[in-house]
Structure formats: C-alpha cells, structure tokens
Structure 1
C-alpha cells in the first residue's frame, strides 16, 4: 500500500531548481558520503542486491551510472574490481570533497542531476536516497529511463508522499499509478522503484516547483516536497 497523508497542507512558496539547489537541505555535504559498495552502510544493503555481481554478469564492458553519488566510494571500489573496459559515472551536485585520485574508468561529475544529460546508455543506473533532494523527481525518473542500455536496470529510492498537487494535496497514489503504468515497479516496503529496459516515459504531471522546508521524510532526514499539476498527457512507449 502506498502511504498517503490524510489531509492536504497549505502550499508554501515553491522554489525553482536554481534556488532549490542552493538551499541548505539540498546543497548539503553529508548525503551519500560514507556509503560503500558492501557492508552495513552500503549500496548492496540499500539496493537489495550486489551491484558488483550484477555488473560482472553483464558483459566484458559493464557500465554504471550513479546519480547523487556523493564521494563515489561505491564506484571507486567497483572500478578496482571490474574489467578495465568498464565505464563508471557518478553525478553529484556537491561532488567529491576528498582530494583522492579518481581511478581509471571512473568519472565523477559535479553537476545538477536535473540538468545533466547522459552521453551514453548504462547497464545499471542507481539513485540511492538521492531523489529526496531533487525538485522534479518524476522528470528525473523519466529522463533516466531513456539512458538504460538494452535490459539495463534502474533502481532508485522514492518517497511517494513527497509528491504533491498544485494545491498542496497528496499525489502519492496517482504518482505511483502513473509510474507503474509506465513500466516501473514500486516496492512500498523498501521505498524502491525499479525499471528494466530503456523506454520513453511521459508522465501526466507538470512540475511547478519544490519546497525544501517540508520536513523529514521516512528516512528521518529533511527532504524536498515536489509539486505538480496534472496535464493529462502521459504516455509511454
């Protein structure tokens, strides 16, 4: 069951992306900094599978895009264990803070994930608790869907409660329904969206701004609420 707040909240002043990304909630230096590839605080634990094993089974030249990658520790570990032909990319608004050399095959990009465009397709695309700090979450998911290689896998943490209508009402159920219609699978127990295979996704929502002061989400950490208008034009292929 998708959790939905019982009542609508008053609509706050909504910020466009360039202002949102300067807010203290989004432009932080703690998100995803210490998370490694395996172990207690790891990608394997958060994603429910071992990314390294998944990529190793793909091909001689596996590719992984990690959105909101922080220091890129999981990517660094993977780069050391995957073939030299592997392509690993991390994109993060703040970027790495530690002055550690980047290993061959890995590119860490400091950029907004809402503006950055992938120059290629990837076997695996992840966003571990990163959508909580993105304004247009649904737009980001739609864009990432087109960056998948054939049979590529997209996995992202998603909190439907953070999706609101223009008048402040909850839009969790309609957002999840639209994503499922587009081909995504949503696990409410793990707050994870998955998508297998590339596609063009058009969701019936038009992004109008975000509220970085909406308070903590299910993680207990401050997060962003994303506001949308329904446009009735959603389709997928």
Structure 2
C-alpha cells in the first residue's frame, strides 16, 4: 500500500494474523436463544424473512463463521429463499449444504455478490476487517430497494492514520449523513433501502492500513484497528 503508515499492515498480512485467521467470534451462534443473531441484532432474521413476500427472502451473512444461523433458517424458510454465507475461514468441519444455502470461503474485503439481497448482516465481523468503511459502502450497494443491512460497529476501532487518536465521532456523523442509523448501546449500524452505487454512500475517508495489535474492543476480544486519513477533495473551479 502506497504511503502506508509504520506499524500498519496490508490486507494479506492482516488476514494471516492470528487475530483474524483464528477468531471464533461467530462460530457457534444460532438464530435464537442466548447466543444468537436475534439477541445480538435485536431482529430475528427468520421472522423478518418469513414476513417477506415470495421472491424477496434473500439473506447475505458476512463473516458467517460456521453458518449455523443460515442453516437453521434454510430448514425453516420456503424453497424460494436464497441464503449466502461468506467467511474467510469457512466451516471448520464441512457439512452438506441445504439447497437454499450457499457457503463461500473468501475475504469479505474483496468478494462481491452477483445479485442484491433483502437482508445483509455482519454480526461482530467488522471487528476483524481492515477497511471497515469500504466494506460498509460496498454492502450498502448490495441491498434490494427495501432491504435491510445490520452490522456491529465499534467507532473506537476507527483511528486517524497520523496518530491523532480515534476518528469514531467523525465517522459516525458521516455514516448518519449517508443514511445509516447507529445504536451506541448495541454498537449496531442499520441501513434501510438500497444505495444503488458505492458513490451514494461515499465517505470522506481514505483507508491507510490496519493494526492487528490494537487489543480488545468492547466485546472483550482482540480486534483490528482501522486507520484512515481524511479524503482531500479538489474544490477548485
């Protein structure tokens, strides 16, 4: 990465780090109950999808871990449902994939879907992504017209690359300006409705690199620090 700050690592280095490659944050989480998507998100994905009309029951889960929640949903939803899980490591023990479900082992930082989704979730997954704002911008463009995006987000993990401390307050303000809502109690970002291009949710920040040694975040688990500089816009006539 050109101009990368000292101590920050590239995407390849980050994804090989023990903090990212071996994280177990989302391995066993199911749909409902104590350790569940419904509890973490405040929204039951199965109920939300079940209330949708036929042909509008698609769910993309980023950083899906073992894909347990998707598997549970696949067994309960009508045959028209489309469920996709994307994870850097993928299931540690491969299991037969339900017909409505697709499991993709890939980096969420570079992967892109070939269709829009009605529901997009990222349950504590952003904590292990270098360019968090880039992924949020891209994911916003993957929603259907009345789709819903839900993602856990820690503003304290967004840092100024020049050593000026946290950029969290500035980033949350810009995210809200583009249509996101942020629940600080749940550390949850919500976006309702499609943003047809990444330009629709463009943020005035340039990603400079990641710090896998940032230490624990609000979950108590080691997480990644994402470093940005302000994007300089040429306003000359």
Alignment TM-score, normalising by the size of structure 1: 0.92
Partner of 2:227: 227
Structure 1 contact 206–231 (Cα < 8 Å) conserved: yes
Distance (Å, rounded) in 1 between the aligned partners of 2:82 and 2:44: 17
**Would the aligned equivalents of 1:67 and 1:127 in 2 still touch at CA under 8 Å?**
yes
SS in 2 for 1:20: helix
**1:94 matched to which residue of 2?**
89
Aligned partner (choices 79, 85, 105) of residue 110 of structure 1 = 105
2:42 paired residue among 41, 44, 48: 48
Shift of 1:60: 1.3
1:1-237 pair list within 5 angstroms: 13-61=7-55, 62-168=57-163, 169-199=165-195, 200-233=200-233
CA distance in 2, matches of 1:99, 1:203: 38
Distance 2:202 2:52 in 1: 28
Q: How many residue pairs align between the two structures?
A: 223
Q: Structure 2, unaligned stretches of length 5 or more?
A: none
Deviation (angstroms), 1:29: 4.9
Distance 2:94 2:136 in 1: 31
- Find runs of 4+ consecutive structure 1 residues off by over 2 angstroms: none
Q: Contact (CA 8 Å) 1:65, 1:89: kept in 2 or not?
A: yes
CA contact (8 A) 1:16 1:209 kept: yes
Taking only aligned residues, the RMSD between alpha carbons, in angstroms, comes to 1.0
Deviation by residue 1:10-63 (Cα, 9 ceiling, x = unmatched) = x76100111100000000152311100111000000010111110011121310
Distance in 1, matches of 2:94 and 2:139, equals 29
CA contact (8 A) 1:36 1:74 kept: yes
Report deviation, 1:198. Answer: 1.1
Deviations 1:93-141 (CA, angstroms, capped at 9, x unpaired)? 0001122111111001000000000110000000000000000000000
**Secondary structure of residue in 2 paired with 1:75:** helix
SS at match of 1:209: strand
TM-score, normalization: structure 2?
0.92
CA distance, structure 1, for counterparts of residue 206 and residue 161 of structure 2? 10
Which consecutive unaligned segments of at least 5 residues does structure 1 have? Answer: 1-10
Q: Name the structure where helix makes up a greater proportion of residues.
A: 2
